[in-house]
Structure 1
Amino acid sequence: MKKHLQDRVAVVTGAGGGLGRAHALELARHGARVVVNDLGGDRPDSAAMRVAEEIRRLGGEAIVDGGDVTDFARMEAMVAAAVDEWGRVDVLVNNAGILRDKSFAKMALDDFRAVLDVHVMGAVNCTKAVWERMRAQNHGRIVMTTSSSGLYGNFGQANYGAAKMALVGLMQTLALEGARHGIRVNCLAPSAATGMTAGVLPGEALAGLAPEKVSPGLIALVGDDAPTRMVLLAGAGSFECAHVTMTQGVFIGEAGDAAERVRRSLDAIRDRAGERVPESGWEQYQLELSKAGLASEVA
């Protein structure tokens, strides 16, 4: 097997079990040296320690970090430890997460904040901790873990869905900012049987959703030839791509009945014929000003 990541250094958060464990093992199989992060993972009997030992038994290299992704200082220390051990960090997989599922009517705001803090600020903290090093070495690969719950919605997961869609927005901008420094940023939306999906999916479905079937997609997002700004969906050995698109829409102008005309035009506005995937948010301005006859204002 070709080792696409030989001697690259990868950090995987939430890697004590489930998807994180599968990602860590797959990265090691492809030659990466792996930081196995998991909350409390530096205890001698922890799941993260077992994952690291599993990597070593397979001939790979691994160290363990037990820091909380919501603690920026701990994430800085984790990255410093990786650099002390191996000299660099090439790959960051923001995988750590929690669930606090309830309908929005019954959801406590503390549960909403907790999910945002782990998924969004956890990813921000880890990314900030590696960002300047990746810029300086002109190479970096960052993967955010999004979800179909964020992309398309899911009953009872307003907090989780909001957090997961926020990571898509984070990816979009960081991919633009990192491009000239050799940093590529992508999202992975997994369908997998893990501790977070136990009790959510029926048993027969869970049997086909082994986390290991997702991780090959991760490898495609972190290699030297990785894409950037891709939302890769993966599960049960199948892979798809999601896009945030923009339709051609309709120009209404400033008529006194503009609101009524918009209301009557909603079908035409959402008509997907000729839709496109914008290169940046600026394209909305360009399209709308062009239709208004003001294209010269945005040259």
Structure 2
Amino acid sequence: MKKLLLLSTGGTIASRASNNGLIPQDKGKDLIAMIGKLPYEIDTDDILQLDSSNIQPEEWKFIAEKIYKYRTDYDGIVLSHGTDTMAYTASMLSFMLQKIEIPVVLTGSQVPMDVVLSDAPDNLRLAFAAAATCKPGIYLAFNRKVMLGCRTVKVRTTNFDAFESVNVPPIAEVTSDGIEYIHDPELKQGKCQLNTKIDPHVAVVKLFPGFDPKLLFAMADSGCKGIVIEGYGLGGMNYIRRNMVAAIGELIRRGIPVIASSQCLYERSDLTRYEVGRLALLEGAISARDMTTESAITKLMWALGQGMNLEEVKGFFEQDIVGEITI
């Protein structure tokens, strides 16, 4: 019998109705009691009780430390978490806990556990099954799918099918025969070394017609040390009248890395295809390729936290560290 641990952090899955709206109240043992008996030995630890909108870098570090502490005592760990920032947490844990020796599976729900016809019981059962059978790594289990954590994005606000695996297939899906594993990513194995050093002084900018590039310098002057820009299509950026390309070049000369990604959810950014992308590439913009925005921003935070300079960040983004990018 596999020995598993549930680390609960709050979120909708643990919420109850109040006069102020849904508030996380249920403990891990309450969640386990409501899903019935499972063929695993399960312990619980209530480490946080927050709506995931309030989960920030300080909580990422705390969660990573807890997982690292418990990883040798269990065959797998399930982390119950609110859905709104779950993809960010999954991506950041992937970098903080590289080469984790056990499967760590994040899950949550769109409807609280105590509500009739909630999606919470099935999601939690799937997370435990994944924690008992997946290869070591960081995953997210939701709506009959198990996905690599650093490839997930929340794409729906209320539908049970809230998360998608972007640019790679899900790891597994639930069928009538149980969990069917359909994708086997080449994750690096070894001995996990906890590294929670990050620099959250970064920004994400979604480019739109009329955006004033001067705002980028305002960010830099306010202490922003790296920027992810969601450009058009393959990553194109305007240079007529409002010269984004020139602004990017100036930021890079200041030593501030600029990551060029796409506003499109699927497929990759490719700065080599069009002139508007090539000019940005020549100025030193770093392509995010097919990374999610959540993964790009957390990877940038982690890189800056290691004290990497501009060239080191560029080299770091040209590597697949935890399955976050297709080279």
Give your verdict on TM over 0.5.
Answer: no
- The alignment's TM-score, normalised by the length of structure 1, stands at 0.41
Higher helix share: 1
TM-score (norm: length of structure 2): 0.38
Bigger Rg over Cα: 1
